[in-house]
Structure 1
Amino acid sequence: MDTDVLDTLKLALDGGGVTVPESGTVLFLRAEPGPVLPLLPRDRLTCQQAFKPPHDALKAAGYTLLAPGTETFEPAELTLILPPRQKDEARGLYARAMLAAPEGGVVLACLPNTLGAKTAEKTLGEIAGETESLSKNKCRAFWARKDLSVFNTALAEAWVAADQPQPVAGGAMWSRPGLFSWDRVDAGSELLAECIPEDIKGMGADLGAGQGYLTKEVLTHCPKISHMDLYEAEHRAIACATQTLEAFGNVTISWADVARDVPNNRYDFILMNPPFHVGRADAAGLGQTFIQAASRALKPHGSLYMVANRHLPYEATVAACFKQYEIIEDSGGYKVIRADRPKRPK
């Protein structure tokens, strides 16, 4: 999360217009560590986070956390939200927060201006009625008080209904708003699936598995695969991958941080279309972390198959982690890399 967002959210609570209640529950949705937390009463604070790395950081710091799949909340006098980028997912989160809030409860959110903060405030106002806001650090904190006389319950419930797992791409997979390429098969993943040889065999893993599309494709077309382990950090994807792969018995799906939670020296092959951005900016370091994790997780003669945008600088990391590699496909703005025999630390 952008530190400017957290600083602006803190400002709203620290004399900026929103008062932390002296009693009652405080709820923090999509919570992250940062300067906001010390302003909140730890004994009355409950956090929710579906993304594994910040969830684990909050847990390690001793905060009370809801189960990661929780989407129905108890009433809270104050609810803070760090909204997601995707419109339908964000609407669902505003709606769930406002539906759960008691009369007079406040829902407070914050976004960078570049991610449509002004529009987001208007979105909250569509169900809540009147909103207030402050702007600082090129961000906007905005909030609304629950007033049942103006609250649009029907619209809020419609937003929640739209933010649910659903079949997409002609049934090729199950997905939901906010997941990567949520309403269509990603072209990079499709290209990678086409490049996997049908005689691939043994124990495989899908790192950053998302909705499970890659695993479904290889299990459909590669009969010698004995088992697939899927690792995904966004808990909202887990139910979707489970539905996508319902017909297959030889899969295990784990909510996991790929950087820390994948076992070493276990797999004959690994597939991945690694994440490559934070917000709207490229973050090649994420993909490099995935490559390093894959090299540790593979058996000595194992192989990695990965797809990436052509311009992302992954080759040096692949060369540092594997004894040999080649680009086996380069088309449509994507490159598919096969890397063999991971290097072991000396």
Structure 2
Amino acid sequence: MPALQDAPLQTLFLPFSHAGLRWPAGPVLFLRARDGWPLREHAAPGQLVCAQSFRPFADALGRSGWQVVDEDALDADDTRYALVLVLPPRQRDEARALFARALSSLAPGGIVVACQSNNEGARSGESDLQQLAGLGGKLTKNHCRAYWTAPADGRHDEALRKRWAALDAPRGIVDGRFQSRPGVFAWDRIDPASALLVEQLPVDLAGRGADLGAGWGYLSAEVLARCPKVTALDLYEAESRALALARRNLAGSSAKLDFRWHDVTAGIDGRYDFVVSNPPFHTPAREDRPDIGQRFIAVAAQALRPGGQLFMVANRHLPYEQILNESFGQVRVAAERDGFKVIVGTRGGRA
């Protein structure tokens, strides 16, 4: 039997057809929402409020006509929902904070329904929701686990909810030099691949540059600290939670900065003197996708001026050589260490 395209999403809705849960008539909140046919089978037009911080998923939801909001903006929303759907992330502190948010968004008598794949922390998620609010039921199918609360009656552990709500708050890392939060890439450390790339950056980088997949801003911060001739830097990042951190981490820079919540694989505008990148090679669902990194390389080449350079780092095994050679006039490996390689591509006149 072929694998389901989005097994957690499809399993999330099974309690309404297999376990007797009733779909409400009023507004429904969907945290970490993803688009798919189960939404159209259950939700009426205008009923779903979808919170999604990852730009490709948010764009897909918007194209299908669903309302998409920023997750942190829900703090100022006093709407209470009879149903809150959750696709929890793998990172446990982040997931616990999401459960706390879901519970605080419930109307009296409302329920939280969550689902995770078995290899993405489903048992831990079920245990955490049970500890916080008690369970009304669960089911397993498609190598996933769906679980839900009993109707909210105000008897949940409010002290625990408040503690968990603070678990993904921004906090200082690297001796307070940067702000980060659980769930973003390399949230509590300097990623060793990015550190290797920084070691290879020439100090004479100048002009306007771009950071593709900027995360919480480490590469950009190092470019600005090491390369005083850089006058402008555009940060492209698909995860808005990370981009908000980058804004904080680069505050006070004398260079002109532009923070762009954007899916790089869709292409970028602008002409750059240089590009730096530690491109992703999997989705937030941890699906292996080397084609994402390949697309980053092609987009970087298109955005560079003739003679402009791409400085990127990647796992040594990833199949990037063909697209690099097709996209750049010159390609060289500048460094290799601990399974990573730093590649420098120079755009030719006809790239």
TM-score, normalising length from structure 2? 0.93
Equivalent residue for 1:262? Answer: 268
Counterparts of 2:281 and 2:46, CA distance in 1:
37
- Judged with a 3 Å threshold, the aligned counterparts in structure 2 of structure 1 residues 130 and 281 are, in CA distance, closer, same or farther, namely closer
Task: Tell me if structure 2 keeps the 8 A contact 1:128–1:151.
Answer: yes
Matched residue pairs, number?
343
Equivalent residue for 2:334? Answer: 328
Equivalent residue for 1:49? Answer: 52
Counterparts of 1:12 and 1:332, CA distance in 2:
46
Q: Percent identity?
A: 44
Please give the secondary structure, in 2, of the residue aligned with 1:7: helix
Cα deviation, 1:168-214, whole Å, max 9, x if unaligned, reads 11123211110001001100111111110001111000000000010
Alignment-mate amino acid for residue 64 of structure 1: Q
Counterparts of 2:118 and 2:20, CA distance in 1:
19
Counterparts of 1:30 and 1:126, CA distance in 2:
21
Equivalent residue for 1:150? Answer: 155
Cα deviation, 1:208-227, whole Å, max 9, x if unaligned, reads 00000101111111111111
Equivalent residue for 1:24? Answer: 26
Counterparts of 1:226 and 1:321, CA distance in 2:
26
Is 1:292–2:294 an aligned residue pair?
Answer: no
The Cα of 1:147 is off from its aligned counterpart by: 3.1
Q: How does 1:299-310 map to 2 (within 5 A)?
A: 299-310=305-316
- Judged with a 3 Å threshold, the aligned counterparts in structure 2 of structure 1 residues 320 and 16 are, in CA distance, closer, same or farther, namely farther
Task: Give the counterpart of 1:98 among 86, 98, 103.
Answer: 103
Task: Give the counterpart of 1:230 among 231, 235, 254.
Answer: 235
Counterparts of 1:224 and 1:210, CA distance in 2:
23
| Greater CA drift, 67-76 or 126-135 | 67-76
Counterparts of 2:37 and 2:350, CA distance in 1:
40
Task: Tell me if structure 2 keeps the 8 A contact 1:298–1:342.
Answer: no
Task: Tell me if structure 1 keeps the 8 A contact 2:84–2:105.
Answer: no
Task: Tell me if structure 1 keeps the 8 A contact 2:106–2:152.
Answer: no
Task: Tell me if structure 2 keeps the 8 A contact 1:6–1:35.
Answer: no
Q: How does 1:1-346 map to 2 (within 5 A)?
A: 3-21=6-24, 23-38=25-40, 39-67=42-70, 69-72=72-75, 73=77, 74-250=79-255, 251-264=257-270, 266-278=271-283, 279-341=285-347, 344=350
Please give the secondary structure, in 2, of the residue aligned with 1:180: coil
Please give the secondary structure, in 1, of the residue aligned with 2:299: helix
Counterparts of 1:331 and 1:54, CA distance in 2:
34
Please give the secondary structure, in 1, of the residue aligned with 2:280: coil
Task: Tell me if structure 2 keeps the 8 A contact 1:176–1:183.
Answer: yes
Counterparts of 2:130 and 2:349, CA distance in 1:
55
Alignment-mate amino acid for residue 195 of structure 1: Q
TM-score, normalising length from structure 1? 0.94
The Cα of 1:69 is off from its aligned counterpart by: 4.2
The Cα of 1:150 is off from its aligned counterpart by: 2.8
Q: CA RMSD in A?
A: 1.7
Counterparts of 1:212 and 1:342, CA distance in 2:
29
Counterparts of 2:123 and 2:349, CA distance in 1:
49
Counterparts of 1:333 and 1:37, CA distance in 2:
41
Counterparts of 2:349 and 2:55, CA distance in 1:
28
Task: Tell me if structure 2 keeps the 8 A contact 1:69–1:235.
Answer: no
Alignment-mate amino acid for residue 7 of structure 1: Q
Counterparts of 2:244 and 2:126, CA distance in 1:
30
Cα deviation, 1:266-300, whole Å, max 9, x if unaligned, reads 10000000011234453211111111111111112
Structure 2 unaligned blocks of 5 or more: none
Cα deviation, 1:66-115, whole Å, max 9, x if unaligned, reads 24642425211011111111111111111101011012111111111111
Counterparts of 2:298 and 2:73, CA distance in 1:
32
- Judged with a 3 Å threshold, the aligned counterparts in structure 2 of structure 1 residues 148 and 285 are, in CA distance, closer, same or farther, namely same
Task: Tell me if structure 1 keeps the 8 A contact 2:81–2:110.
Answer: yes
Counterparts of 1:146 and 1:191, CA distance in 2:
51
Counterparts of 2:325 and 2:16, CA distance in 1:
49
Task: Tell me if structure 1 keeps the 8 A contact 2:11–2:115.
Answer: yes
